[in-house]
Amino acid sequence: MSIVRIAALFGVDILLSSCGIYMAANQPGRKDLAVLTGGRPQATVQVELGQPAWSGKDAQGFNVEVFQFV
């Protein structure tokens, strides 16, 4: 391989890897986990985190909701 071809591949590699770093740092839809403090209305939590992945009762009979997000 020639030096020019190696340099071109190296440059493309740097551009592609920097794009991934940029995308990871600037993800849309970051969740505000401050809504998980005590005393917040259930509707406020659902607006921020979406619908729960699971909802039911625990062993003591308390209502439990499990949220899942990326």
Instruction: Please indicate, yes or no, whether residues 38 and 67 belong to a single structural domain of this protein.
Output: yes
User: Which helix or strand (DSSP H or E) is residue 63 part of?
Assistant: strand 63-66
Please state the rounded mean pLDDT for residues 28-42: 84
Instruction: Please indicate, yes or no, whether residues 63 and 39 belong to a single structural domain of this protein.
Output: yes
Lowest mean pLDDT, pick from 4-13, 15-24, 39-48: 15-24
**Strongest mean pLDDT among 10-19, 24-33, 37-46, 51-60:** 51-60
Name which residue leads in pLDDT, 51 or 30.
51
Name which residue leads in pLDDT, 21 or 50.
50
The range of the structural domain enclosing residue 20 comes to 1-29
Instruction: Please indicate, yes or no, whether residues 68 and 36 belong to a single structural domain of this protein.
Output: yes
CB 52 within 8 A of CB 69: no
pLDDT tens digits, one per residue of 10-28? 877 776 676 666 666 666 6
Paired strand residues for 64: 56
Instruction: Please indicate, yes or no, whether residues 48 and 68 belong to a single structural domain of this protein.
Output: yes
Instruction: Please indicate, yes or no, whether residues 20 and 1 belong to a single structural domain of this protein.
Output: yes
